[in-house]
Chain A
Amino acid sequence: MEKQAAECARKAYLSGRSRPLQFRLQQLHALYRLITEKEAEISAALKKDINRSQYDTPLFELIGLENDLKLAQSSLSDWAAPRPAKKNLLTLSDQVYTQAEPLGVVLIIGAWNYPWALTLQPLIGAIAAGNAAVVKPSELSKHSSSLLKELLPQYLDQEMYPVVTGGVPETQELLQQRFDHIFYTGNSTVGKLVMEAAARHLTPVTLELGGKSPCYIDKDCDMSVACRRITWGKFANCGQTCIAPDYILCEPGIQDRVVQEIQRTLLEFYGEDPKCSLDYGRIINQHHFDRVMALLEGNAAAIEGKNDREECYIAPTILRDVSPHSRLMQEEIFGPVLPIVPIGGVDEAIRFINDREKPLALYVFSQDKKVIKRMLSETSSGGVTVNDVFMHYTVNSLPFGGVGNSGIGSYHGKHTFDRLSHHKTCLVKSLAMEGMNQVRYPPQNAVHLKRAKFFLTTRLCSCHRFACVWAILATMLALGLLIALLVVLLKVKDFCIFDTVMVDT
């Protein structure tokens, strides 16, 4: 079945119909209709999958997709147009440009935590770039996955974009097939397996992975706003967000205040008992519930509640004075558990972050520009939001992706289009101007070499500022003189006409 889906997509791609812009625009528009017309069904599926609040669905899944679709539709002709490149002396009369072309058949493997956004956003770029795609949503979000399998063929070209559902065996079978790009969102363990499978066919990959995204709270910041924003980002989707602030780093002196503010915010957001709040989610399944609970061993919580395995409910949990060696600090939490690790200051925070794998996101809360500058320039991460969380994800002109263990490649907006295209270098010459070419042909000699070098050598620009200023001044002077000359000439002409008129009368 997986092999059939890949072959079906390949055959559809080879028909050539995904290449005209008109087709791509139609498909993008159809996808837009899918997510706007079926919002209620999508919300219902997410509620069953992960107890997603009906308001979180548009906010975290659909608005981003709508924006990307609108952008792709309005910009596609620009994106797909030839991109001219600067010429040298030898190519002055030639056409020199790059042309974006589809890669072919893209495999998109989605994730369960945002099953619509993380599966469909890559698909938008794949369609826009003219590819066919095999879409494999996550089996863990099974209601969303069946709904997608039902809906996508109703709106999109079902041969060009087949949906394959299933678990690990089905995914492994898919990975045996040859694709022209594999786009995977998930964890780094499976990411390595995907890349290894891709190696067989020399297939390029985009891996959107995760990791522990650190959140540094400087003592010099608006603590109350900072903690509200962090609380929002941490507990949305019950902590199951690849860019959730995984843990907090702060000085011991402000730890108490941080805990207080978060507690106050939790009350404001979810009430006395978050279990009863419509806006608080659930852990995806009992396996992950057990996984998160196991991480807590050995740590006393500063804030916690009564958890419920049957309902996959974990109460918002904050732990203070967490040791860097505890289990909580060894792997990505992906749940509503927030450890606070006390550190001595920004130096120690930077060392702490750099001693670990590069995260997908880095968060810094500070009003001190120097602290922000240091955090930014002395660490590495997929992306950064300063003084908030998540927000760099929402601007589709920013590339979203990881680095090191948190991923390879990036996407969103035009970046997805570029990622899923091949930018073919094109030099369109004529057979004319052969005279110039004689310098490169044998028999070779020093004179030829000198001439060839003249045409081909890039010279170092040793323009000093003084020389540039002088050049600008000289140009202005020359322009001024030219204008003065024109004025004089016009005046002389007027004078001559006047004279003639006077004579006539």
Chain B
Amino acid sequence: MESHSEVVARLRSVFRTGVTIPLQFRLTQLSALLSLMEDNEAQIADALHKDLGKPKFEAVLSEIDMVRNDICYAINNLKTWMTPEYVGTNLATKFDDCFIRREPFGVVLIIGAWNYPLQLILLPLVGAIAAGNCAVLKPSEISQATEQLLADLIPKYLSKECYVVMCGGAEETKKLLQNKFDHIFYTGSQSVARGILRAAADHLTPVTLELGGKSPCLIYGGVDIKTAAKRLVWAKYFNCGQSCVAPDYLLCDAETRDALLPAIREALEGFYGPDPQRCQDVGRIVTDQHWSHVMELLGRSKGRVVIGGESTREDKYIAPTVVVDIDETDALLQEEIFGPVLPIMALETVEEAIDFVNARESPLALYVFSDVPQLVTKVLENTRSGGFCSNDGIVHMTLPTLPFGGVGASGMGCYHGRWSFDTFSHKRGCMFRGWALERIGALRYPPYSETNLSWLRWATTTKKSSCSVM
């Protein structure tokens, strides 16, 4: 069995042959990945159900179809993305060709996460393949069924020489990181990300980090409570609250909170019926450990459970839960919850809510529900987050034309659609100079003179465009 270093060395020598570079190769691999998704939809949904109790609807919408969409988007646009981008020149370089080539880095490492175990490893892979790289995939060992399925299927559909799946836990990942990669793409937690950055620093490897944090949701100004509640409930309890962009906690004034609670109850009942534990559309917490963690946070909270609160350890089930009457020191407001528990803190004004959010680390997503456009704009312009969505949740990450990524503690870099291609490409600035006009070029040579310098300054300085005819 090959060691990590042997695998990486092998991939590097394959990359050097240039086999991943031609457009046709990339399109073939992307089409093969598409076939993998289409031929195995049932098995994939099954594995996701085993890992997370994920309902088929969620599996299709948020995992399978998201990957399929991105593959199609890449196939449709790859030729354009690969075309050199010609750029403007100055007077001294008017007759030269200046363009940007997007070139693969080489061998990239993609480390997936367990909450969307398919999407979070295959979406980056689409970008890596499209950009012409070889890749090592390291799916999360926590979502075991999906990990195993990927290890089985990827070599069956994709080029075994260029793309390798490596399984294992923290120790294995550490060993893997001792090798030099040309880009590392990691989705997961901040604490592990620090270790990855340090390992990457040893080899000067560029890194994309898709992390998390507490994504706040603000509700202020007039709002259609029923619709807001539905969208909020959908976004919060999707995948049992285990989404990096789930609204983590809610800020609103007391009156809104009081109006919201019955609307949330109604939405929950409409979605999951009177007994969510028996509803097929409700997921489960991924492991006992994660279940215990969420329950422990709930236990330490000084708030009052007003909706839900039921749980079953054996089933890793936690009911959709809402907690109120908390203050900023509450356990539920200190770390990312990553579960179906929604704390609501009452702050009377949107200004207080903005200050509260700004006093904390930049989240991956920030949500505002309001019928007042000026209020939405105020929050948008005065807070910082990876992404922003008003009057809905999560959906901003479903468009392949929008970059998805964090800022500050929630991550660095972004992907989806063309952004994935760019993330895995080196933008190489190229200039082709002619041999002619050496007389002009000679102005730059020693022995230097004031006259020559004046001419050169004139030829190379950007001028303010005063003549619109030219």
A392 at the interface (CB under 8 A from B): yes
- Check B273–A67 contact: CB distance below 8 A: no
Closest A residue to B368 using CB positions: A428
- Check A90–B395 contact: CB distance below 8 A: yes
A431 at the interface (CB under 8 A from B): yes
User: Interface-forming stretch among A165-173, A252-260, A383-391, A470-478?
Assistant: A383-391
Q: A74, A180, A195, A399: which contacts B201 (Cβ < 8 A)?
A: A195
Closest A residue to B104 using CB positions: A380
Cα A443 to Cα B119 with chains together (Å): 23
- Check A395–B90 contact: CB distance below 8 A: yes
Min C-beta distance of B24 to chain A, whole Å: 15
- Check A428–B390 contact: CB distance below 8 A: yes
Q: Of A377, A396, A427, which is in contact with the most chain B CB atoms at under 10 Å from its CB?
A: A427
Cα A71 to Cα B190 with chains together (Å): 38
B272 at the interface (CB under 8 A from A): yes
B386 at the interface (CB under 8 A from A): yes
Cα A443 to Cα B282 with chains together (Å): 10
- Check A384–B430 contact: CB distance below 8 A: yes
Q: Taking A395-B90, A426-B388 as contacts, is the C-beta distance between A191 and B204 under 8 angstroms?
A: yes
Q: B100, B391, B445: which contacts A431 (Cβ < 8 A)?
A: B391
User: Interface-forming stretch among A290-298, A332-340, A452-460, A482-490?
Assistant: A452-460
- Check A442–B431 contact: CB distance below 8 A: no
- Check A198–B388 contact: CB distance below 8 A: no
Q: Is the interface of A mostly helix, strand, loop or mixed?
A: mixed
Which residues from 1 to 55 on chain B have a C-beta closer than 8 Å to any C-beta of chain A? 16, 18, 21, 55
- Chain B, residues 391-424, CB within 8 Å of chain A (1/0): the string is 1100111111111100111011110000000000
Min C-beta distance of B419 to chain A, whole Å: 9
Closest A residue to B270 using CB positions: A441
Count of chain B residues near A, Cβ 8 A = 115
A271 neighbours in B (Cβ, 8 Å): 447
Q: Of A99, A191, A278, A428, which is in contact with the most chain B CB atoms at under 10 Å from its CB?
A: A428
- Check B448–A222 contact: CB distance below 8 A: no
- Chain A, residues 65-92, CB within 8 Å of chain B (1/0): the string is 0110011001000000000011110110
A279 neighbours in B (Cβ, 8 Å): 446-448
Q: A192, A269, A400, A426: which contacts B447 (Cβ < 8 A)?
A: A269
Min C-beta distance of A426 to chain B, whole Å: 5
User: Interface-forming stretch among B61-69, B151-159, B292-300, B332-340?
Assistant: B61-69
B200 neighbours in A (Cβ, 8 Å): 195, 199
- Check B401–A180 contact: CB distance below 8 A: no
- Check A403–B402 contact: CB distance below 8 A: no
Cα A39 to Cα B400 with chains together (Å): 48
B217 at the interface (CB under 8 A from A): no
Cα A150 to Cα B425 with chains together (Å): 41
A200 at the interface (CB under 8 A from B): yes
B116 at the interface (CB under 8 A from A): no
B376 at the interface (CB under 8 A from A): yes
User: Interface-forming stretch among B134-142, B311-319, B458-466?
Assistant: B458-466
Cα A280 to Cα B445 with chains together (Å): 11
- Chain A, residues 29-58, CB within 8 Å of chain B (1/0): the string is 000000000000000000000000111101
- Chain B, residues 78-122, CB within 8 Å of chain A (1/0): the string is 000000000111101100101011010110000000000000000
Min C-beta distance of A28 to chain B, whole Å: 13
- Check B201–A423 contact: CB distance below 8 A: no
- Check B448–A460 contact: CB distance below 8 A: no
Min C-beta distance of B100 to chain A, whole Å: 6
User: Interface-forming stretch among A113-121, A138-146, A202-210, A317-325?
Assistant: A202-210
A268 neighbours in B (Cβ, 8 Å): 445
Cα A349 to Cα B184 with chains together (Å): 29
Q: Taking A199-B197, A425-B404 as contacts, is the C-beta distance between A91 and B399 under 8 angstroms?
A: yes
A98 at the interface (CB under 8 A from B): yes
Q: A228, A453, A458: which contacts B445 (Cβ < 8 A)?
A: A228
B432 neighbours in A (Cβ, 8 Å): 372, 386-387
- Check A367–B435 contact: CB distance below 8 A: yes
- Check B103–A380 contact: CB distance below 8 A: yes
User: Interface-forming stretch among B166-174, B226-234, B257-265, B322-330?
Assistant: B226-234
Q: Is the interface of B mostly helix, strand, loop or mixed?
A: mixed
Which residues from 242 to 272 on chain A have a C-beta closer than 8 Å to any C-beta of chain B? 268-271
- Check B403–A98 contact: CB distance below 8 A: yes
A229 at the interface (CB under 8 A from B): yes
B460 neighbours in A (Cβ, 8 Å): 63, 67, 394
- Check A458–B69 contact: CB distance below 8 A: yes
- Chain A, residues 407-451, CB within 8 Å of chain B (1/0): the string is 111100000000000111111111100100100111110001100
A196 at the interface (CB under 8 A from B): yes
Cα A461 to Cα B73 with chains together (Å): 9
Q: B100, B272, B273, B433: which contacts A399 (Cβ < 8 A)?
A: B100
Q: Of A71, A232, A431, which is in contact with the most chain B CB atoms at under 10 Å from its CB?
A: A431
Min C-beta distance of B280 to chain A, whole Å: 8
Cα A103 to Cα B412 with chains together (Å): 11
A7 at the interface (CB under 8 A from B): no
A382 at the interface (CB under 8 A from B): yes
- Check B204–A399 contact: CB distance below 8 A: no
- Check B198–A425 contact: CB distance below 8 A: no
A98 neighbours in B (Cβ, 8 Å): 402-403
Q: Taking A198-B197, A202-B409 as contacts, is the C-beta distance between A58 and B281 under 8 angstroms?
A: no
Q: Taking A180-B408, A380-B426, A442-B281 as contacts, is the C-beta distance between A425 and B204 under 8 angstroms?
A: no
Q: Taking A180-B408, A232-B445, A443-B273 as contacts, is the C-beta distance between A399 and B427 under 8 angstroms?
A: yes
A397 neighbours in B (Cβ, 8 Å): 87-89, 98
Closest B residue to A101 using CB positions: B384
A494 at the interface (CB under 8 A from B): no
- Check B193–A202 contact: CB distance below 8 A: yes
B182 neighbours in A (Cβ, 8 Å): 404
- Check A88–B89 contact: CB distance below 8 A: no
- Chain A, residues 225-248, CB within 8 Å of chain B (1/0): the string is 100110010000000000000000
Which residues from 426 to 470 on chain B have a C-beta closer than 8 Å to any C-beta of chain A? 426-435, 438, 441-442, 444-450, 452-453, 456-457, 460-462, 464-465
B128 at the interface (CB under 8 A from A): no
Which residues from 216 to 262 on chain B have a C-beta closer than 8 Å to any C-beta of chain A? 223-224, 227-228, 230-231, 234
- Check A427–B396 contact: CB distance below 8 A: yes
A405 neighbours in B (Cβ, 8 Å): 204
- Check A423–B391 contact: CB distance below 8 A: no
Q: Which 5 A-B pairs have the closest CB atoms?
A: A398-B429, A55-B448, A199-B197, A444-B57, A195-B201
14 CB-based A-B contacts, threshold 8 Å: A74-B465, A85-B399, A192-B204, A199-B201, A382-B428, A387-B432, A401-B427, A424-B388, A427-B396, A428-B380, A441-B271, A443-B273, A444-B55, A444-B281
> 9 other contacts beyond A387-B434, A440-B234, A444-B281, with CB at 8 A cut-off?
A58-B453, A59-B453, A229-B441, A384-B431, A424-B407, A443-B271, A444-B55, A453-B60, A460-B72
